[in-house]
Structure 1
Amino acid sequence: MPRGTVAGQPYARAEALTVRLGGRTVLRGVELTARAGEVLALVGPNGAGKSTLLAALAADLPAAGGAVHIDGRPAVDWSAPELALRRSVLPQSAALSFPFTVAEVVRMGRAPWAGTPAADADEGAVAAAMAATEVAGFAGRPFSALSGGERARVALARVLAQRAPLLLLDEPTAALDLRHQELVLGIFRERAAAGDAVVAVLHDLGLAAAYADRAAVLHDGVIAAQGPPAEVFTAELLSRVYRQPVEVFGHPRTGIPLVMPHRDP
């Protein structure tokens, strides 16, 4: 069973991590820590290595160099069932070949706990996850009949129902409207406040600045900067990484960084 978490405690770590795909080096010497009680945003342009890093942290991709540790042990030392108790993964897209209902898809998140004392919490975990993501109203509908945004929320509900202490989420807001983007990021903050480590790939720098405790800016397979968004989201760094001039200024009420493309009048 996973150990209890303590706020600020490292739960997953990449140490000098190098990953190669198809003969190409995608990540080079990456150092990153996901801590209990924090939301960590992975940001950067397309092709920077964000999804690869997330998959490596999940132990779904092998390291060509360095190592990944989860819950105090090298990730390669955990079996697949043991990993499923410790980390849950939301991929970029969710597709199912069989006509499962929404409730059945969410209940799949409880599979790792079958045969353990935690299985007694299955129904409560499923109901809570569906309520949090606002999908309970169409629990009986086929997953295949849902819109893209609805599927994204159901897939997230599955991850939440799993109740693993490490959440790894790849572009969880990409298909969502404004309301549900805010809803989902609020859920991540709640999970972090409850002691989970949350790592999310985000393209929206405004959401990352507003909700993440720390951000790692990836560029060409390395981490160009990491730290609180207010410190690392600078116009100079982001303009260079994204190859697009940007302006960064504080929100007039909250002071949270706002990132805007520089546009001539």
Structure 2
Amino acid sequence: MIAALSRRILTGRDRALPSPAAPGDVLAETADLRVLLGGREVLKGVTVRARAGDVLALVGPNGAGKSTLLAALAADLPAASGTVRVCGRTAADWAARDLALRRAVLPQSAVLSFPFPVEDVVRMGRAPWAGTRRADDDDRIVRAAMAATEVEAFAARPFSALSGGERARVALARVLAQSAPLLLLDEPTAALDLRHQELVLRVCRERAAAGDAVVVVLHDLGLAAAYADRVVVLDGGTVAADGAPVDVFDERLLSDVYRQPVEVLPHPRTGTLLVTPRRAPAPGGPTKGDTAGG
């Protein structure tokens, strides 16, 4: 029995672990991907690439296929046709335990049936590394993930007692603790206040600067414009545009995709694009000649 346990530990420490990616390496990609859900074609020939060192934002209206594409990149959904590759290998060819070392996934909502303390939830992100030579870094990595997401203050509280925004940050900390070179985040800012929305996107930028590939589903086009290196605009299961925000965020394109008139303006101080709905003046509201004093 002891000999068998020793062999398992040795095998874990001898596993092939991910090597650092070079800037620009493709860590996840789809080619002509079609996905069916409930007999409906949700993705229709989608081709995207996520590269090391980049934040790639997936945007588009509700039902456009953003979360489905993220799940396909995570190898959590089968393709009806086309291919999905993760770290250079067809997604279906990865063993689950090896895939978990290479991509970490943040779903839209985090649900736990037991009242685990926050620190234990974050530590769950280290599970794929158990028995490997990098497990020795678990404590340091967990602390760093909790610091990055500002959850240390309630590390001992049960996850079930947290607010929605606090749970979202703990779930992100778990993903960061997984230390995978490919991060797939589905609406990580949805439950967060303004400060923590900015914090999450800064974390995405920091991970990209450290060499990871980050794919993030966003509804806030202003956040995508400010933090993403590239944006894929999805519409009806197809790619309407793919490129840098300055090239993709076009008023006519976005107005057509969202079925809502949109304005795209440069920030007066930084030049970063601001994306906002075009609104008619409110009845009885201030007119151009009004002053603050009346």
Residue of 82, 85, 88 corresponding to 1:72? 88
- 1:14 corresponds in structure 2 to 30
Uncovered stretches (5+) of structure 2, i.e. residues with no partner: 1-16, 282-294
Letter in 2 for 1:100: F
Shift in Å, 1:253:
1.3
Q: 2:56 aligns with which of 12, 37, 40?
A: 40
The 3-state SS of whatever aligns with 1:82 is helix
The residue that corresponds to 1:132 in the other structure is 148
Q: Does residue 18 of structure 2 align to residue 2 of structure 1?
A: yes
Secondary structure of 2:100 counterpart? helix
Secondary structure class of the residue paired with 2:35: strand
Match for residue 188 of structure 1? 204
Bigger-Rg structure (1/2): 2
RMSD value over aligned CA atoms? 0.5
* SS of residue matched to 1:253: coil
- 2:253 equivalent in structure 1: 237
Q: Amino acid of the residue matched to residue 4 of structure 1?
A: P
- Which residue matches 2:173? 157
| Alpha-carbon distance in 2 for matches of 1:115, 1:248 | 51
1:1-265 matches, within 5 Å, as 1-265=17-281
Shift of 1:4: 1.6
Q: Secondary structure at the match of 1:85?
A: coil
The one-letter amino acid of 1:68's match is V
Do the aligned partners of 1:3 and 1:71 also contact (CA within 8 Å) in 2?
A: no
Q: Separation in 1 of the partners of 2:115 and 2:248?
A: 45
CA deviations 1:98-144 (Å, max 9, x no partner) are 11010000000000000000100100010000011000110000000
Please, what TM-score do these two structures have when normalized by structure 1?
0.99
How far, CA to CA, are the matches of 1:263 and 1:156 in structure 2? Answer: 34
| Residue identity opposite 2:64 in structure 1 | A
Shift of 1:263: 1.2
Shift of 1:3: 2.5
AA aligned to 2:135 is A
Provide the C-alpha distance between the structure 2 equivalents of 1:194 and 1:128, rounded to a whole number of angstroms: 14
Does the aligned pair in 2 maintain the 1:20–1:26 contact within 8 Å? yes
Q: How many residues align?
A: 265
* TM-score between both structures, scaled by the size of structure 2: 0.90
